[in-house]
Homo-oligomer: A and B are copies of this chain.
């Protein structure tokens, strides 16, 4: 399972209802979480969302723009003031790492835990946990910008109940023992657990886009993914007026790509403040549904989504 908590859904500047970018990622494996992007005020949103900086294991920064990283120094310092000791992984562009060094030095900030930097441009996938892998995928923006794909697997042991029934072994303690990996004597022979258990590996994947003017460059990244989270800064009509300079996507661009790609679930985020009102959000929703037949959500701050191992996406309130 992948659980996503949106900590900020505004583009560029915060508004009274939406903070700048920040997205918490959790899995079925427990309280540990990873943060994707860290705009100013993310540590405040972390508190409000009931997440703990002690359980944070990695921070991923998609690109150098301030609305995606200006919250880093405060979040790191607060984790230190809360007596964090465990190492923290930072997957970020090199200039962000360089900026952090200067920040810590100039502001007399001393982190009481190791901060371990991985260059976001390094193509080697990062193993977050044995069953969870993070890979980076280049996008088109004014500066180098990366999407993060999270692949999550789970091995399920299923007892071959039909075969056991056929053998004449009825449900009971012997079934439980076999399913827990223990061998069981039955009618003068030893039933080996491995022979009577089928291991099924379940797999889900989500692609979490950073700022990106061309959704189509995520074609390979979206292969086999059940969910795409992507910026949709503008309605198409607004993008037409603004022009290509900012290198952001419209709802139409993203929805069209997701439809062509056959991604079954789409979450849009990173909305320009001009689109924060309920009326404007409805405009965006309509535009999305016009070009995309899958399940689409427009993220709000503190929305929590769960992608189950059967590929179903649910919004939790």
Interface residues of A (CB under 8 A from B): 12-16, 19-20, 39-41, 43-44, 47-48, 64-67, 69-71, 73-74, 77-78, 81-82, 95-96, 98-99, 102-103, 105-109, 142-143
**Copies of this chain assembled into the complex:** 2
Tell which of B74, B98, B108 touches A143, judged by Cβ atoms closer than 8 Å.
B108
Q: Do B78 and A142 touch across chains, with their CB atoms under 8 A apart?
A: no
Q: Do B12 and A81 touch across chains, with their CB atoms under 8 A apart?
A: yes
Given contacts A12-B81, A41-B44, A81-B12, contact A98 B108 (CB under 8 A): no
Q: Do B13 and A64 touch across chains, with their CB atoms under 8 A apart?
A: no
Write 26 A-B pairs (CB below 8 A) sorted by A numbering.
A12-B78, A13-B78, A13-B81, A13-B82, A14-B44, A14-B47, A16-B48, A19-B44, A40-B40, A40-B71, A40-B74, A41-B41, A41-B44, A65-B108, A66-B107, A66-B109, A67-B77, A70-B73, A70-B77, A70-B107, A95-B106, A96-B106, A99-B106, A102-B106, A103-B103, A108-B143
Assembly CA distance A15 to B81 (angstroms): 13
Point out the residues of chain B lying under 8 angstroms from A109, CB to CB: 65-66
Of residues A19, A69, A98, A102, which shows the largest number of chain B Cβ atoms within 10 Å of its Cβ? A102
Tell which of B16, B44, B48 touches A47, judged by Cβ atoms closer than 8 Å.
B16
6 further interface pairs, Cβ-Cβ under 8 Å (given A40-B73, A64-B108, A102-B103): A14-B78, A16-B47, A41-B41, A64-B106, A99-B106, A108-B143
A59 to chain B, nearest CB (A): 15
Assembly CA distance A64 to B102 (angstroms): 12
A114 to chain B, nearest CB (A): 19
Tell which of B15, B43, B102 touches A14, judged by Cβ atoms closer than 8 Å.
B43
**Which 3 interchain pairs have the tightest Cβ spacing?**
A40-B74, A99-B106, A95-B106
Q: Do B69 and A107 touch across chains, with their CB atoms under 8 A apart?
A: yes
Closest B-chain residue to A69, C-beta based?
A: B107
Assembly CA distance A107 to B20 (angstroms): 15
A46 to chain B, nearest CB (A): 10
Point out the residues of chain B lying under 8 angstroms from A48, CB to CB: 16
Point out the residues of chain B lying under 8 angstroms from A99, CB to CB: 102-103, 106-107
Assembly CA distance A248 to B106 (angstroms): 20
Point out the residues of chain B lying under 8 angstroms from A103, CB to CB: 99, 102-103
A12 to chain B, nearest CB (A): 5
